[in-house]
């Protein structure tokens, strides 16, 4: 039974990483779009990711629930030792979702639209970066072999920075025409 739970956990994380790349890539590509094409690109990207962007976070929620219910000790160790990158990633997801909704459904089109656009772009860059930092910290095995506690090293180290940057670049390339 444990292998079935691990399989579902890995599958949900994999699907979030693969399908979320298009969502985050939309915001990253909006950052690099020229001023005269930005409005058309924003319109195209919002219509492309609009129907599915929130559904992609379902895979992250499933992974957290599986980890919490199936492996509570690992969940507590990871959530305590990675609390800063997890917090920044979750705040980025919340800010990104809020900005995405408000820039399209705000009743008044005023200067706040620029604020929503900036929040969307910045959180689209920050969130996958910290997702890469979390993945690097976990895959580098910087924890004790018995699995009871992560080491006291900082979460931000060279490998984590490279993984976080690579994740952002990957998400940006999802939107390149090809």
- Whether 40 is in a domain gets the answer yes
Domain total for the chain?
1
Place of tokens 């800063």: 84
Task: Find the mean pLDDT for residues 102-124.
Answer: 86
Cα four-point dihedral sign 137, 141, 146, 150: negative
Burial of 176 (0-12, 13-18, 19+ CB in 10 A): exposed
- pLDDT single digits (tens) 12-39: 988 887 777 777 777 778 877 877 888 8
Structural domain boundaries, residue 154: 2-173
User: Angle, nearest 10°, between helix axes 158-173 and 112-139?
Assistant: 130
Task: Find the mean pLDDT for residues 53-66.
Answer: 86
- Whether 178 is in a domain gets the answer no
Question: Tokens representing 171?
Answer: 């998400």
Instruction: Provide, for the chain, the percentages of residues in helix, strand and coil under a 3-state DSSP scheme, each rounded to the nearest 5.
Output: 75, 0, 20
pTM of the model: 0.75
- Whether 126 is in a domain gets the answer yes
Cα–Cα distance list, 79 to 67, 75, 110, 139 (Å)? 11, 6, 39, 15
- pLDDT of 148 higher than 60: no
- Whether 128 is in a domain gets the answer yes
């Amino acid at each position: 039974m444990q292998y079935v739970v691990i399989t579902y956990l890995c599958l949900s994380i994999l699907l979030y990483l693969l399908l979320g790349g298009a969502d985050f890539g939309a915001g990253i590509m909006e950052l690099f779009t020229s001023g005269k094409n930005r409005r058309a690109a924003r319109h195209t990207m919002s219509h492309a990711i609009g129907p599915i962007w929130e559904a992609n976070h379902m895979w992250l929620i499933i992974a957290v629930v599986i980890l919490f219910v199936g492996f509570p000790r690992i969940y507590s160790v990871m959530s305590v030792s990675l609390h800063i990158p997890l917090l920044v990633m979750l705040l980025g997801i919340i800010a990104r979702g809020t900005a995405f909704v408000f820039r399209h459904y705000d009743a008044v089109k005023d200067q706040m639209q620029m604020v929503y656009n900036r929040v969307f772009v910045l959180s689209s860059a920050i969130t996958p970066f910290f997702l890469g930092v979390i993945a690097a910290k976990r895959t580098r095995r910087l924890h004790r072999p018995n699995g009871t506690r992560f080491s006291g090293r900082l979460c931000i180290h060279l490998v984590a920075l490279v993984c976080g940057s690579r994740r952002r670049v990957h998400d940006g390339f999802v939107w390149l025409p090809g």
